[in-house]
A and B are shown apart, each in its own frame.
Chain A
Amino acid sequence: MAQIPLPIRLDIYARFSTFVAGENQVVLDHLLGISADQRAQILWIWGPSGSGKSHLLQALCASENDSGRSAIYLPMKNPGLPGPGVLDGLEALDFVAIDDVAQIAGVSDWEYALFALYNELLTQDGCLLMAASRPPSVIAFSLPDLASRAAGAVVYRLEPLDEDAALVALKEHASCRGLELPDASAHYLMRHVERNMSALCGSLEKLDVASMVSQRRLTVPFIRDVLEI
């Protein structure tokens, strides 16, 4: 009889300790130093999907919270997010992370709300970290004041992981899920799933559930069956 997985969530995964930096060590070092630096900071990280932007934003939220500082993570692609009013009062927090910020470009109410938040955070020594797939200078903000402020952020490009680093990251992710991922299976996933960490981790999540239901190990034939490769 198949086992029904319990609706229990994973413990928090997106931490600095589980981030495989690859060529992004400078970005990681900068973010690790944010808590210690009490001054206002505006940062923008950009890179292709799966390069680790959301991971870093959430890791910083967790790390700030662990140090007793208040933080929030707002993914702009989340359809469940209410209107721009959700940005009200965030200047009272120590750290604000806004993911997929390009989503609000051209949406007047959101742009004004982000502009106001930027101004308030700056005067209250808060930290604003934004992430997008492109750098601020090419995002089509309709409010010039917001565009210029975004362009004045410290901008970092996240480089996607090379094959070796991606393999390490994949195994790290599996280990966080309590899964044993043999080398042969990891290589198989790397060869057959789209080569970015979002896609790889998404596949791993599917495999996690399937393996629990069928009580099977992550062998290559099992992976092939589940992912229908």
Chain B
Amino acid sequence: MTENPAVCPSLWPQCTRALKAELSEQQFNTWIRPLQAVEEGSVLTLLAPNRFVIDWVKQHCLDLISAELRSAPNSGSASVVLEVGSRRKLSATESRNPPLPKLGPSEPKVIGSPLNSLFTFDQFVEGKSNQLARAAAVQVGTNPGHAYNPLFIYGGVGLGKTHLMHAIGNVILRRKPTARVAYIHSERFVSDMVRGLQHNKISAFKKTYRTLDALLIDDIQFFAGKERSQEEFFHTFNALLEGQRQIVLTCDRYPKEVVGLEERLKSRFGWGLTVAIEPPELETSVAILMSKAAAEHCQLPEEVAFFIAQRIRSNVRELEGALRRVMANSRFTGQPITLQFTKDALRDLLALQEKLVTIENIQKTVAGYFKIRVADLLAKRRSRSITRPRQIAMSLAKELTTHSLPEIGDAFGGRDHTTVLHACRRVKFLGETETRIAEDYANLLRTLSG
């Protein structure tokens, strides 16, 4: 059996040569390259990733492939079969993660996606913004089904929810290698269920999910509005909880705030422990960068880490993207990572941010956020509904731009620089005493620097 188009000695390379001559380069790259050829006896099986690829190849290329097979020397009565499938990738992930123990013959053998073994608690950098979530996750990993059930972790995108979820799964499996742990994105849960319904295998689907030791479902906000999936998940949830099996859920917001989610689910999500992950403070961002760089055996000067962390505040994922870019530039140019090198490597990203973060843009964004007019921010009015957004906008202008206090005062209807200074101090004080103000400020900061 020949499995690889690159080393296949006979039929498929001949077919691809003919197809290259007939198709445009783009067509070849889109529809022929994803095919994986398997030759067995006189049958050439072409595995395609989905039915759309099969349909296109059937419609445009099947005659040509068949003709090539007929003309090939010693091919006899060779035939071609097209089907959806894939040679399995032998990847690092697979070798790291053994498949789940086998289930009954009618059930899928692998549930969900493999756990990423690099996502561990050791690799998770702890700070004020995430320490509660991490502590709860460690408890759940070491004492599944008993500590907090379900564990509900919520927070904005790219803050480490998925990392914690994988870390829980990895600990459970390390402590009990035969445990049946499934990590799955809620979108995938929905599509698996739809497939189960379509192919009359819903009972196998139910049994598969309801007999797990731990179910880790990511981004459950995607269940919103999908009633049938919620119904199925509700029963899965109950079955697992009754059997003292662990459930971990992540979401981009507090469960009660997910629109389109049934009340009974929202209420059940609150039975265990609900913890938030906030955007990291500057020091945590720096620690994350240093830790990621160390994991890649890269010497990252602290001033560079501070430089990147100060400029990219939206989320950890973007922070890591910037770091990877700097490291890749260093690796491929052979230059050490210095502050100047980092500025050069990220120059388009930084230029873009500076372009976006102007005082005018801050005023527009803040006015939009509080549903007032920009003109109100610049006017003399001193009612609290206007003063508070104005102070926040001034404080943001101080933090995100290089303008001086007098310049900022000028841009806000010709105010004195001491007014700006007072605004900055006031916002700092209110941020420490009123959660709502702190949240508003953090949201605006993310929007403007994201």
Q: Which residues of A contact B (CB under 8 A)?
A: 8-14, 25-26, 29-30, 33, 38-40, 58, 61-62, 65-68, 70-75, 78, 81-82, 85-86, 88-90, 92-94, 97, 112, 115-116, 119-120, 122-126, 135, 137-138, 144-145, 147-149, 151-157
Q: Which residues of B contact A11 (CB under 8 A)?
A: 20
Binary contact readout B301-327 vs A (1 if CB under 8 angstroms, 0 otherwise): 000000000000011011011001100
Residue of A33, A78, A151 touching B318 (CB-CB under 8 A):
A151
CA–CA, A13 to B94, complex, Å? 35
B interface residue count range (under 10 / 10 to 19 / 20 to 34 / 35 or more): 35 or more
A30, B332: Cβ atoms under 8 Å? yes
Expressed in whole angstroms, the minimum distance between the Cβ of B278 and any Cβ of chain A is: 15
Q: Which residues of B contact A65 (CB under 8 A)?
A: 5-6, 33
CA–CA, A39 to B157, complex, Å? 23
Kindly identify, within residues 79 to 100 of chain B, every residue whose CB is under 8 Å from any CB belonging to chain A. Answer: 84, 86-89, 91-94
Judge if B50 is at the interface, Cβ distance under 8 Å.
Answer: yes
CA–CA, A89 to B116, complex, Å? 19
Q: Which residues of B contact A85 (CB under 8 A)?
A: 50-52
Expressed in whole angstroms, the minimum distance between the Cβ of A1 and any Cβ of chain B is: 25
Binary contact readout B10-41 vs A (1 if CB under 8 angstroms, 0 otherwise): 00000000001111111011100110100000
Nearest B residue to A54 via CB reads B26
B328, A26: Cβ atoms under 8 Å? yes
28 contacts between A and B (CB under 8 A): A9-B24, A14-B25, A61-B29, A62-B29, A65-B6, A65-B33, A70-B33, A70-B34, A70-B87, A72-B30, A72-B49, A82-B56, A85-B52, A86-B52, A86-B53, A88-B52, A90-B50, A93-B49, A115-B187, A119-B187, A124-B113, A147-B157, A152-B315, A153-B321, A154-B328, A155-B321, A155-B325, A157-B348
A125, B20: Cβ atoms under 8 Å? no
Secondary structure type dominating chain A contacts: mixed
B29, A155: Cβ atoms under 8 Å? no
Residue of A33, A92, A97, A138 touching B49 (CB-CB under 8 A):
A92
Q: Which residues of B contact A148 (CB under 8 A)?
A: 157-158, 314-315, 317-318
Binary contact readout B173-211 vs A (1 if CB under 8 angstroms, 0 otherwise): 000000000000101100100000000000000000000
Q: A68-B7, A75-B30, A119-B188 are in contact. List 8 more A-B contacts (CB 8 A).
A: A71-B29, A73-B30, A86-B50, A90-B49, A90-B50, A115-B187, A119-B185, A124-B91
Asked whether A125 and B252 contact (CB < 8 A) given A58-B29, A72-B34, A90-B34, the answer is no
Kindly identify, within residues 246 to 282 of chain B, every residue whose CB is under 8 Å from any CB belonging to chain A. Answer: 252
Binary contact readout B138-177 vs A (1 if CB under 8 angstroms, 0 otherwise): 0000000000000000000110000000000000000000
Nearest B residue to A57 via CB reads B29
Expressed in whole angstroms, the minimum distance between the Cβ of B86 and any Cβ of chain A is: 4
Q: Which residues of A contact B84 (CB under 8 A)?
A: 89
Judge if B4 is at the interface, Cβ distance under 8 Å.
Answer: yes
Asked whether A38 and B329 contact (CB < 8 A) given A119-B113, A119-B185, A152-B158, the answer is no
Judge if B349 is at the interface, Cβ distance under 8 Å.
Answer: yes
Asked whether A88 and B5 contact (CB < 8 A) given A30-B328, A149-B317, A154-B325, the answer is no
B20, A12: Cβ atoms under 8 Å? yes
Nearest A residue to B97 via CB reads A123
A151, B321: Cβ atoms under 8 Å? yes
B30, A74: Cβ atoms under 8 Å? yes
CA–CA, A135 to B347, complex, Å? 12
Q: Which residues of B contact A123 (CB under 8 A)?
A: 93, 113-116
Kindly identify, within residues 88 to 129 of chain B, every residue whose CB is under 8 Å from any CB belonging to chain A. Answer: 88-89, 91-94, 113-116
Q: Which residues of B contact A90 (CB under 8 A)?
A: 34, 49-50
Residue of B24, B30, B188, B318 touching A152 (CB-CB under 8 A):
B318
A89, B321: Cβ atoms under 8 Å? no
CA–CA, A99 to B222, complex, Å? 26
Q: Which residues of B contact A13 (CB under 8 A)?
A: 25
A116, B188: Cβ atoms under 8 Å? yes
Judge if B219 is at the interface, Cβ distance under 8 Å.
Answer: yes
Judge if B450 is at the interface, Cβ distance under 8 Å.
Answer: yes
CA–CA, A90 to B92, complex, Å? 18
Binary contact readout B48-62 vs A (1 if CB under 8 angstroms, 0 otherwise): 011111011000000
Q: Which residues of B contact A62 (CB under 8 A)?
A: 29, 33
Asked whether A89 and B49 contact (CB < 8 A) given A123-B113, A144-B157, the answer is yes
